Amino acid sequence: MPVPVTMELEWRGKRYRDVSRGLKAVADDTEQAFQDNFKPIARKVLRDYMSGVVGSVRARVSTPYPDGTSARGQFPGTLSKRSGKLASQFTDENIMVSDAGEPSVSFTLSGIAAVHERGATIRAKNAQYLTIPLPAALNSNGTPKRPTAKSWSNTFVQRSKKGNLLIFQKQAGGGIIPLYVLKKSVVIPKRLAFEEAFEAGLDLVADKLAEELIREFNNAG
């Protein structure tokens, strides 16, 4: 003879004899849990990811001068730590995560960081030439020994055998040393690759977000 089977559903401590009502309760609670938890979880995942990117770029520009820090074949050019101003921009305090609307994260590059990220042509302003310091005008850490070329005494300008205009300094013993090369402009190549570093792991962000949402849902259930 047929055996009657009664289907019931229990959800969050409540038993539903009408399974369709129970499933609706599950769906409603799940949707609400998603709405309540998605944005804060997404913001945390985005912040953590951006923090990792920022830290990796900071490490890549923190090798002391004169050693370059950009990996050949992946990031064009090389970067070394001199004054530390570039590396000091890459801190978690500069990460901005939206508090309203859809979750988003941003990191603004300014000054020299923006120049190295996008590349730029630097031209002389209020002067005929840029003065580019040569090794004799630099400290061991790569920073200039003097604030400007005019800060040096006993200097003169002369064209080198290669046709470059140089600022030389006369030495007490009669010799001369080159201090600066004079240029109308200097091209700074794109070589920071912050945007590339950020975009490289976006698939991992999606996976991490899904993982965190599933964990939160399981804990809530």
Task: Check residue 4 and report its DSSP letter.
Answer: -
SS3 string, 112-168, reads HHHHHHHCEEEECCCCCCEEEECHHHECCCCCECCCCHHHCCCEEEEECCCCCEEEE
Please give the model's pTM, rounded to 2 decimal places. Answer: 0.74
8 alpha carbon, distance to own chain's centre: 54
8 pLDDT exceeds 70?
no
**40-56: pLDDT as tens digits:** 888 888 999 999 999 99
Residue 94: phi and psi, rounded to 5, are: -90, 0
Element spanning 26, H or E: helix 19-60
What secondary structure does DSSP assign to 61-115, as a single string? T-SBTTS--SPTTTSSS---BSSSHHHHT-SGGGEEE-SSSS--EEE---HHHHH
Round to the nearest angstrom and report the end-to-end CA distance of the chain.
38
Which of 25-34, 48-57, 123-132 is the least confident region?
25-34
Sign of CA dihedral 31, 34, 35, 37: positive
176 near 169, Cβ under 8 Å?
yes
Angle at 201 between CA 93 and CA 44, to 5 degrees: 45
| Residue 36 binned pLDDT confidence (cut-offs 50, 70, 90) | low
Distance CA 107, CA 111 (A): 13
Q: Look at residue 3 and tell me whether its pLDDT is greater than 80.
A: no
pLDDT at 221 over 60: no
Q: How many residues does the chain have?
A: 221
Average pLDDT, the chain: 83
pLDDT higher than threshold 80 for residue 29: no
Q: State the average pLDDT over residues 153-176.
A: 92
At residue 216, the pLDDT reads 72
Does 107 score more than 50 pLDDT? Answer: yes
Please tell me the distance from the alpha carbon of residue 45 to that of residue 206, in angstroms, as a whole number: 9
What tokens does 94 get? 């500069």
pLDDT tens digit sequence for 167-195: 999 998 889 999 999 999 999 888 888 99
- Residue 99's pLDDT band, with cuts at 50, 70 and 90, is confident
Q: What confidence tier does 73 reach under pLDDT thresholds 50, 70, 90?
A: very low
Rounded percentage of the chain residues whose pLDDT exceeds 70: 78
DSSP H or E segment with residue 196: helix 194-200
Look at residue 180 in the predicted model and tell me its pLDDT. Answer: 97
